[in-house]
Structure 1
Amino acid sequence: MKAIIYEKYGSPNVLTVRDIKKPIPKDNEVLIKVRAAEVTKADCEMRSFHFPVKWFWLPLRLILGMSKPKNQVLGGYFSGQIESFGKEVSKFNIGDNVFGVSNLRLGAHAEFICLPASYTIVTKPTNLSFEEAAALPLGGLNALHFLRKANIQKGESILINGAGGSIGIFGVQIAKAMGAKVTVVDTGIKEKMLRSIGADNFFDYTKEDVTESGQTFDVIFNIVATSSYSAWVNMLKPNGRYLIANPRLSDMLKSVMTSKFTDKKATFIFAGEKEEELLTLKKMIEEGKIKSIVDKTYSYEQAADAHRRVESEQRLGAVIVKPQLNNKMA
């Protein structure tokens, strides 16, 4: 089978397409024919081994490989079809259209992937293409996780910093579905797209600093790792909630102090990416409450361009790779 491979850390140019051995499912595993997979910022960070949150460096080196990657196929979020499964699996039927998460096993940037049936994998919404389904798990699961922690009430105000990325796009829509008034921060090129999915107010961070606007919010959802902790917390209303999707170690320590000694609450608990959450997102998709936004789809041979697109921060939605661009898929 074909796969996008990287044998060393570096620029997008280290990515190549190779033929590798097709996996065989164990008794508790499913073999999935991958139809589409998202290229995420995490994929780019693992490929380059450059992470904005520096305290991850040593544990990630141990997990991913000290001098070169242990797992040479990236990709954690995918859609596809059940090709076969082991004798212990009763959850799926051959031919089921599915989407989900491969966790730290990665491997979704290949034509086939084997995963335990217990992983967060569910049947695909019928009103989504494979590309749109692959764009859902990362952003949707993380946004739903954090916004549930905030316990948003109808009519409350929320500010989402970094709203134009995979998590932010679903954050805007889920917050609107919860009844919030949504203000977003990102670059100007993303304003039209973000307003089209429900953003009420927009700040272009290249032209103005929202932390100096004098505005306050019930909830702030911060997805940008390099942000100033105190500047954002100071924008919270009494009893406000601060959600940190990409916390630095200092942010974690400060969040404990904020929650313990003030009337505000700061949360950085990482998403578990659970099946119940993915089923909730599926239902929201089917009911038309949220939708997937795909920026551009690339072939495996264009993988380097896909990574560059993600790193450029110019994308207007998810960047997808798939084995063949001309495939017609249900």
Structure 2
Amino acid sequence: MKAVFYDKYGAPDVLQIKEVPKPGHADDQVLVKVHAASVNYGNLVLLKGEPFLARFAFGLLKPKYSIPGGDIAGRVEAVGANVKQFQPGDEVFGDLSGSGWGGFAEYVSVPEHALAPKPANLSFEEAAAIPMAGTTALQSLRDKGKLCPGQKVLIYGASGGVGTFAVQIAKVLGAEVTAVCSTRNIDIARSIGADHVIDYKIEDFANRTEKYDLILGANGKQPISVYKRALTPKGVFVHVGGSGSQMFQAMVMGPFISKTDGKKFGTFLQRANQKDLFLLKDYLETGKVKPVIDKRYTLAEVSEAFRYFADGHAQGKVVIAI
């Protein structure tokens, strides 16, 4: 089968398309013929080996996982003897970040708990855009942010993969949502349900006096002090993406602020979770949430897809057609 392969950390140019053996499947695994995958921030971490601390999980000197790719959508080709939830022919989507990655390939074998039935109303490419970004948005708002109905939520970086899902899921959870994005993304933010939109190209967010119960930092470079001023007395800031300096401040200064102030600061990394995939499936099939796809690439164009994504200006998700 064809797969994206790499054996050293670096820029997108280290990615190669190779012929590799088609995987078998164990008794507790599902063999999936992959129709589409998508690019996430986690894929960049695996590619570059940055931040350096990530190498302790993904390989200190060289990549532990030679085939990247966390999000997939495809059709079940075979199942192991112990698999109960799926059978050959089923259309599925899944998050492989907790089970060895490998989604940028024509086939992959994964535990059944990494998969869920594909939303019936979506194409494979649309479904592949969902798992990691969707669960990141859901878990960061619901679990880390403790979002409650009626709260005011601000999504900084609302037009990217996580941001577009966060705006919609925050609305599903009953929040009043303010989206922060650039001028060219205002229409996208409004189309997915944002109650208010701030154009950071025109207005300096640091000068605003509005207070928010929850701020989700999905992208951007604002210092923690700016977010602190924008929170209500018991407000919560959750960092899921953005500049390295912003992440460092959230990790180092966040715990101190949280102990000395009623406001809470923290960082968040999503965890693959089948129940959350089923919940997202329900949101998508009932029209409460929809994926926003910016560009589509072929497997042969994967390096170009990574370069575009790494620029940080994708409007929604970048999808790879396998």
The two structures share one fold, judged by TM-score above 0.5: yes
- One-letter amino acid matched to 1:242: F
2:7: which partner in 1? 7
1:109 is the counterpart of 2:108: no
Among residues 87, 107, 110, which one is paired with 2:81 in the alignment? 87
2:291: which partner in 1? 292
Among residues 90, 103, 126, which one is paired with 1:132 in the alignment? 126
Q: In 2 relative to 1, CA 270–300 (structure 1 residues): closer, same or farther, beyond 3 Å? A: closer
2:239: which partner in 1? 244
Deviations 1:77-121 (A, max 9, x none): 11111111211112211111111111251100000001122x331
1:202 is the counterpart of 2:197: yes
2:271: which partner in 1? 272
Q: In 2 relative to 1, CA 64–156 (structure 1 residues): closer, same or farther, beyond 3 Å? A: closer
Instruction: Output the CA distance in 1 between the equivalents of 2:152 and 2:249.
Output: 26
- What RMSD, in angstroms, separates the aligned Cα atoms of the two structures? 2.0
2:153: which partner in 1? 158
Post-superposition shift, 1:175?
1.0
1:172-251 mapped onto 2 (5 Å cutoff): 172-224=167-219, 226-246=221-241, 248=247, 250-251=249-250
Post-superposition shift, 1:21?
0.4
- One-letter amino acid matched to 2:278: L
Q: In 2 relative to 1, CA 70–122 (structure 1 residues): closer, same or farther, beyond 3 Å? A: same
Which of 106-115 and 292-301 deviates more?
292-301
Deviations 1:20-40 (A, max 9, x none): 000000111111111110112
Query: Aligned residues: percent identity?
Result: 35
Post-superposition shift, 1:225?
7.1
Task: Could you list the structure 1 runs, at least 4 aligned residues long, displaced by more than 6 angstroms after superposition.
Answer: none
CA contact (8 A) 1:217 1:237 kept: yes
- The secondary structure found in structure 2 opposite 1:95 is coil
CA contact (8 A) 2:223 2:249 kept: no
1:20 is the counterpart of 2:20: yes
Post-superposition shift, 1:267?
4.0
1:30 is the counterpart of 2:25: no
Post-superposition shift, 1:76?
0.6
CA contact (8 A) 2:234 2:264 kept: yes
1:148 is the counterpart of 2:139: no
1:65 is the counterpart of 2:59: yes
- One-letter amino acid matched to 1:14: V
Which of 146-155 and 172-181 deviates more?
146-155
Q: Structure 2: any 5+ residue segments left out of the alignment?
A: none
- One-letter amino acid matched to 1:285: L
- The secondary structure found in structure 2 opposite 1:256 is helix
Q: Structure 1: any 5+ residue segments left out of the alignment?
A: 52-56, 324-330
CA contact (8 A) 1:256 1:266 kept: yes
- The secondary structure found in structure 2 opposite 1:103 is coil
Deviations 1:218-257 (A, max 9, x none): 2111123754122202211122222222473542343333
Aligned residues: 316
Instruction: Output the CA distance in 1 between the equivalents of 2:38 and 2:228.
Output: 32
CA contact (8 A) 1:169 1:317 kept: yes
Which of 176-185 and 25-34 deviates more?
176-185
1:255 is the counterpart of 2:250: no
CA contact (8 A) 1:39 1:318 kept: yes
Which of 167-176 and 191-200 deviates more?
191-200
CA contact (8 A) 2:40 2:133 kept: no
Post-superposition shift, 1:165?
1.5
CA contact (8 A) 1:138 1:166 kept: no
- One-letter amino acid matched to 1:76: G
Instruction: Output the CA distance in 2 between the equivalents of 1:61 and 1:41.
Output: 15
Instruction: Output the CA distance in 2 between the equivalents of 1:66 and 1:242.
Output: 31
- The secondary structure found in structure 1 opposite 2:180 is strand
CA contact (8 A) 1:225 1:248 kept: no
Post-superposition shift, 1:132?
0.8
- One-letter amino acid matched to 2:187: K
